[in-house]
């Protein structure tokens, strides 16, 4: 593989479904071209940043590097559509708006806010492991467990009714799986717009309802929030729900399913975890590093600057490659080894700086609850077919994980 070919992994959704190809390419880029210009006819040009130190330095400097107008990589039409979409969520915002809007939900996501949900999360974890047991020894762990459980958690946090689950599941998968043929409603960018419109309709109704009948759920908190003394706008409220419903769902599903896949591919690590459940927290952290469910976010330069000596002009964009940063040889000992006891684990899967993932505590709690319930109850477990990974440019993990198991 030459360096130009290596640079194509960021624009090819199939590359994220092929771990070996992706990691070979990004290892080469980290070594030989860590600030790499990618030019592709379907995409506006960008610089791919693959080293941990550089990703962190850019994410930390929110004055030089802003999220608008291109918070994440998509094909050219999506860049244009994005600037037309009136919905602005946190990831599209910068200071001074960003901290004000982030503040609206920040308390809900603090450890104290999330702890209120821990009983419900443990109950859901038990429900899904029971469900697995009831499936009689074989299932698709992604479809049957991992894709549902985090959505239930998010619905609980937002305060939405469980009967809306199938609709939300489909919509979030369409939004994030739009580059995968199995998941996209239709090929092309109009499908993406239709999905957004469905989201809007659903959440606009929710906002109206929570304004009329406020409760103590996060949806009520958002619908009735004030921004600089004024009630939050409808579009901003909807943007908020969409972000939380989507950001909090597919990411955690990917970490859980990809995490189990990693354990099955490394049976010594499964045995180690089964023998010592106190390793669950470090194991979950390692799963998140290993899978790196969020493949990239972008930043755009507000002034002429340099990264690792490479000049980058004002208005040019950089892609922060979290999966690459998380295998950086300069930061991780044996980065290609899956180690359930890895300490320290300075992975960047949750990003860094002003936009650092709001849902880290929730995601960790979910992962820990599930594996703490699952591992002791399983007597034997193995792959029952070939797993498949989502083709994506943004968020992804397994889309099929066939397993065979006996419960203790
Ligand atoms: C393993 C699971 C997860 C991963 C890997 C993940 C990853 C990320 C990343 C990389 C960012 C961008 C950070 C940056 O730009 O520096 C982010 C932002 C965000 N995440 Fe997560 N996330 C996960 C779970 C969740 C959950 C459960 C929620 C809960 C609702 C959530 C809500 C958010 C929100 C609201 C933002 C935007 C924050 C902002 O722009 O200020 N995430 N996440």
Over the stretch 22-48, which tens digit does the pLDDT of each residue have? 999 999 999 999 999 999 999 999 999
Give the residue, by CA position, lying nearest to ligand 1 atom 11.
Answer: 357
Identify the pLDDT of residue 33: 98
Residue 287 CA from chain centroid, whole number: 13
Q: The domain 3-407 belongs to what CATH superfamily?
A: Cytochrome P450 (1.10.630.10)
CB-ligand 1 contact for 100 (6 Å cutoff): no
Distances (CA, A) of 360 to 13, 95, 106, 127, 342: 26, 22, 12, 23, 18
Q: Say how many Å lie between the CA of residue 227 and the centre of ligand 1.
A: 22
What gap in Å lies between CA 242 and CA 245, rounded to an integer?
5
| Nearest atom within ligand 1 for CA of residue 98 | 41
Identify the pLDDT of residue 162: 83
Query: For residue 45, how many other CB atoms are within 10 A of its CB?
Result: 10
Identify the pLDDT of residue 187: 45
The DSSP secondary structure of 335-347, one letter per residue, reads TTS--TT-SS---
CB-ligand 1 contact for 59 (6 Å cutoff): yes
Identify the pLDDT of residue 176: 63
The first and second tokens of residue 98, run together, are 């960003």
- The answer to whether 293 and 254 have CB atoms below 8 angstroms apart is yes
CB-ligand 1 contact for 26 (6 Å cutoff): no
What gap in Å lies between CA 31 and CA 324, rounded to an integer?
11
Which of 90, 252, 257, 359 should be mutated for ligand 1, with most atoms under 8 A from CB? 359
The stretches in the chain having pLDDT less than 50 are 186-187
Which of 55, 350, 366 should be mutated for ligand 1, with most atoms under 8 A from CB? 350
CB-ligand 1 contact for 319 (6 Å cutoff): no
| Nearest atom within ligand 1 for CA of residue 102 | 41
CB-ligand 1 contact for 34 (6 Å cutoff): no
Identify the pLDDT of residue 71: 94
Identify the pLDDT of residue 190: 59
CB-ligand 1 contact for 142 (6 Å cutoff): no
Give the residue, by CA position, lying nearest to ligand 1 atom 27.
Answer: 248
Identify the pLDDT of residue 85: 59
Identify the pLDDT of residue 169: 79
Phi, psi of 45, rounded to the nearest 5 degrees: -65, 155
CB-ligand 1 contact for 365 (6 Å cutoff): no
Identify the pLDDT of residue 146: 96
Distances (CA, A) of 395 to 9, 60, 177, 189, 256: 14, 22, 8, 17, 13
Report which secondary-structure segment, H or E, holds 29: helix 19-32
Identify the pLDDT of residue 84: 56
């Amino acid at each position: 593989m030459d360096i130009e070919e290596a640079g194509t992994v960021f624009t090819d959704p199939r590359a994220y479904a092929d771990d070996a190809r992706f990691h070979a390419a990004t290892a080469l880029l980290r070594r030989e071209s860590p600030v790499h210009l990618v030019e592709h006819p379907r995409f506006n040009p960008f610089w791919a940043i693959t080293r941990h130190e550089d990703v962190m330095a850019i994410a930390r400097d929110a004055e030089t590097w802003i999220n608008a107008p291109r918070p994440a990589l998509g094909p050219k039409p999506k860049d244009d559509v994005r600037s037309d979409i009136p919905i602005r969520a946190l990831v599209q915002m910068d200071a001074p708006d960003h901290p004000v809007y982030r503040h609206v939900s920040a308390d809900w996501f603090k450890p104290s806010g999330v702890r209120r949900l821990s009983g419900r999360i443990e109950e859901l974890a038990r429900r899904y492991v029971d469900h697995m047991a009831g499936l009689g020894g074989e299932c698709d762990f992604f479809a049957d467990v991992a894709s549902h459980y985090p959505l239930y958690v998010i619905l609980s946090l937002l305060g939405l009714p469980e009967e809306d689950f199938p609709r939300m599941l489909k919509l979030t998968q369409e939004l994030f799986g739009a580059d995968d043929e199995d998941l996209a409603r239709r090929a092309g960018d109009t499908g993406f717009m239709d999905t957004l419109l469905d989201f809007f309709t659903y959440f606009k109704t929710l906002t109206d309802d929570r304004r009329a009948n406020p409760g103590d759920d996060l949806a009520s908190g958002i619908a009735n929030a004030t921004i600089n003394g004024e009630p939050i706008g409808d579009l901003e409220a909807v943007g908020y729900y969409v972000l939380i419903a989507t950001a909090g769902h597919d990411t955690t599903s990917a970490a859980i399913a990809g995490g189990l896949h990693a354990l099955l591919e490394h049976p010594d690590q499964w045995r180690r975890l089964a023998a010592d459940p106190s390793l669950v927290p470090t194991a979950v952290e390692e799963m998140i590093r290993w899978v790196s469910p969020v493949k990239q976010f972008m930043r755009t330069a507000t002034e002429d600057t340099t990264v690792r000596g490479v000049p980058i002009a004002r208005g040019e964009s950089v892609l922060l490659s979290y999966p690459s940063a998380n295998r950086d040889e300069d930061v991780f000992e044996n980065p290609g080894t899956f180690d359930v006891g890895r300490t320290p684990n300075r992975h960047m899967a949750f990003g860094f700086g002003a936009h650092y993932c709001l849902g880290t505590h929730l995601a960790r709690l979910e992962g820990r609850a599930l594996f703490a319930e699952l591992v002791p109850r399983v007597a034997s477990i193995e792959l029952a077919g070939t797993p498949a990974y989502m083709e994506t440019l943004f968020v992804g993990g397994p889309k099929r994980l066939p397993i065979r198991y006996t419960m203790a």
